[in-house]
Chains A and B, each alone.
Chain A
């Protein structure tokens, strides 16, 4: 069964929480990490709410799946901080939304 936009944004928000745990060892940046999760989580949730019922085409779903997979490959905490910003941008491009 095809996914809807809110399913994909919810999964992306959950992935941000997972990436934040990878970034956690960078003590000095914990506030920034938390702030990024909050800000991008809010943006993704807003898109998911607005387009809740929109069914996405298979290539869009595959794009988000692959982007989440890529983000979860990151094991370096510093690179994880970069991905807290990068993953939402990639997902929003796939969904045809502005950052």
Chain B
């Protein structure tokens, strides 16, 4: 098994421009150290219609209360302002920027654990297996490799994504390698489980890192979703 740069096709060139947007790096740096409530703030604002910051301060009184810890309040304000700038983009660009932010947060958190082994937009080649078309969003290319598919919302979890991850893990196992495969989803764990409940092939194979547990990426390899008797995923 070996990793390879993704083909530099038209999609990749356009998307590289999105990934290089300074707003992506700024938002990702803030969200990598955000707490779950601050991440919900970012998700809501980037999904929202209102661009008046006061509307969002009202919606999150525990984050913007008078007397709150000044440094925490400062971070909340920075997250709010960055998220509003994403929301003010056109719908199509907003969607691409949000996806790039999730990937960048994932890369930053993994780099705290795996350093320079963390890469972006890479494919995996297996001996005797036709090469995959779609690259993985983030990879950890070490003796205990990991691949991640990043999603803004649980709706992005599809049968095709799960199949690609499961196939990669199986192909690696055939070569005697323990490849960890996981989804990183900037959405609630509950919504992800709702989505996975009607999909097959994730339990016991694919890890799930949801909005509440993002910072766990910096601590340990993801663990596969447990198999539960009677449950589909």
- Measured CB to CB, the residues of A under 8 A from B are 29, 31-32, 35-36, 39-40, 43, 59-60, 62-63, 66-67, 70, 73-74, 76, 79, 81-83, 85-86, 88-90, 93-94, 96, 98-99
Contacts and interface: CB of A to CB of B under 8 A. Distances in A.
Interface in B161-218: 187-191, 193-195, 197-198, 211-212
Given A74-B49, A88-B188, 19 more contacts: A35-B197, A36-B191, A39-B190, A59-B58, A63-B58, A66-B55, A76-B91, A81-B155, A85-B187, A85-B188, A89-B44, A90-B44, A93-B41, A93-B60, A93-B62, A99-B40, A99-B188, A99-B211, A99-B212
A90 B61 contact: no
Contacts of A73: 49-50
Nearest to A96: B62
Contacts of B188: 85, 88-89, 99
B43 to A, nearest CB: 6
Contacts of B187: 85
Main secondary structure of the interface of B (DSSP, over half): helix
A90 B58 CA distance: 11
B153 interface: yes
> What's the interface size class on B, roughly?
20 to 34
B37 interface: yes
A60 B62 CA distance: 9
Nearest to A40: B190
